[in-house]
Amino acid sequence: MGVLAEATLTDGRKIPYVIKDNPPRGGMKYTYFAPDKSYVVQFFNDPETAQDPNIRKRLEAIIGKYNPTRSEQDGGARGNSEQIANYFAGRFCWPTAIVAEPEFGIVCPAYPANFFFDAEASDMLDLQGRDKRSTWFTSSSRKYLNLPEVGDFCSMLQMSISLARSIRRMHQAGLAHSDLSCNNVLIDPKTGGCVVIDIDSLVVPGLFPPEVVGTRGYIAPEVLASSVRFHDRVLPSAYTDLHALPVLIYEYLLLRHPLLGPKVYDFTSAERDDFLALGEKALFIEHPTDFSNRPPDLHVQIKDLGPHLERLFLRAFVDGLHNPDERPTALEWEKGLVKTWDMLHPCENPMCAAKWFVLYDTKNPVCPFCGHRIKQENIVRLHLKSQLRASHGQWANAGEVVLYHNMPIFKWHILANTFPDEKTDRELMAYVCKFQGKWLLVNQNIQGMTSPSGNLVPPGQAVMLKDGAIFRLSDAEKGLVAEVSCGR
């Protein structure tokens, strides 16, 4: 039990919280929970920090005009609708109010329940109630977790998309995280969800500089390398987020750090060696020409993630590792991850831990995680084409979709220039099924789908997917045409 207390917010509202001995304490703040644990009240460890007027101004800006979890009408980020605000409210633990009394602090939503371990998480450790930092899932700690807890490759890819989308939206609002790391992104591989936390220290460019340098392993090399200099120090920014973001994505998908390999940079000091390995001398463990930092047991590599992610990782960790201007943006990561999602295929090996893989090489359809070869008759793809504007009869490549049994089809699969972001309608339009050895695309809600022979396929009916067949997915203005390939 604790003592019930009351906090007065800057807008005059009063909210209750529970004071307990030894509250959870981080580097900057300590935390008390609401009676129903739906929110937390946090106060600063250092009273002098609480008196800094810039801290208050930063928080007012973050909670107000830069806030992607509030609509523009409600005082949030510019261009934010209620729909977008609600979407991102589930992907950030964004501060909601400033506490004026009994001392300066903030109010934040509590983490959703699925980002805490329950009693079933591990038979070896008592993890109940601990939050799900990603290192539990991307390091050797995985061995302590029960299988349902660790998810699969599909859920890890889903988390990567969600994180890239959240960072893209944050950058669009004019903010940078400054300490994006395994500690400040909670993940739930069971559901494919992630939530970005510790928002109150965000960098507001041109207004409020960063308060923290970052977390080991996620600090951009240029920031770490300059940290020992008295002049010309490089501070966290959106560019440094664009290093931490691919580090996290690489860890989610490949369960290892992209820079920590066998190479030794200083034989006299382990601390100096670590400083160089992550800073001035940082070298990608999968560098295409310099193999000096490559571990001998790289089983699954970036090439196994398909061409979209391979290119992005090379840009992030080769071209952009020491040249921040060359790093892919969060939007580029979001787009590349979504394209990769459309190349997912379930592994037919029931013992495969990953359960899914990226089927990019149909001539060698082997799951890289377990080595199982997919049957040729189960390789079905749609090659999508969109009509060039003002050019009747001329079509441009609009992507590719790898199909599997019970795969859902959405609007971005049937309409050109439609991207599955936070604004997109997620109504099921059709689905794929294998019935009596034949592959079918079953229309659910598409108007104007036609068969290869040109006949209308109304909702409730299906198109048989035969090799070489070409048909219109929709007769809408932006409707795509699909060409089927089977077994190749």
Residue 471 bridge partners (DSSP): 482
10 Å CB burial of residue 151 (0-12, 13-18, 19+) is buried
Fold adopted by 113-342: Transferase(Phosphotransferase); domain 1 (1.10.510)
pLDDT at 233: 84
pLDDT at 211: 66
Fold adopted by 1-110: Phosphorylase Kinase; domain 1 (3.30.200)
pLDDT at 39: 95
Place of tokens 């008592």: 126
Q: How far apart are CA 445 and CA 410, in angstroms?
A: 10
pLDDT at 1: 66
Tens digits of pLDDT across the chain (488 residues) = 689 999 999 999 999 999 999 998 877 889 999 999 999 999 988 878 778 888 888 899 999 999 999 999 999 998 899 999 999 999 999 999 999 999 999 999 999 999 999 999 999 999 999 999 999 999 999 999 999 899 999 999 999 999 999 999 999 988 999 899 999 999 999 999 999 998 877 888 777 777 677 899 999 999 999 887 667 788 888 999 999 999 999 999 999 999 999 999 999 999 999 999 999 999 999 999 999 999 998 999 999 999 999 999 999 999 999 999 999 999 999 999 999 999 999 999 999 999 999 999 999 999 999 999 999 999 999 999 998 765 666 788 999 999 999 999 999 999 999 999 999 999 999 999 999 999 999 999 999 999 999 999 999 999 999 999 999 999 998 999 999 999 87
pTM, rounded to two decimals: 0.95
Q: Where are the domains of the chain?
A: 1-110, 113-342, 375-486
pLDDT at 258: 98
| Contact between 440 and 462 (Cβ < 8 Å) | yes
The pair phi, psi for residue 251, each rounded to 5°, is: -65, -40
Place of tokens 């591989």: 189
In 3D space, the residue among 135, 145, 226 whose CA is nearest the CA of residue 182 turns out to be 135
Q: How far apart are CA 160 and CA 167, in angstroms?
A: 11
CATH number of the domain at 375-486, please?
2.60.200
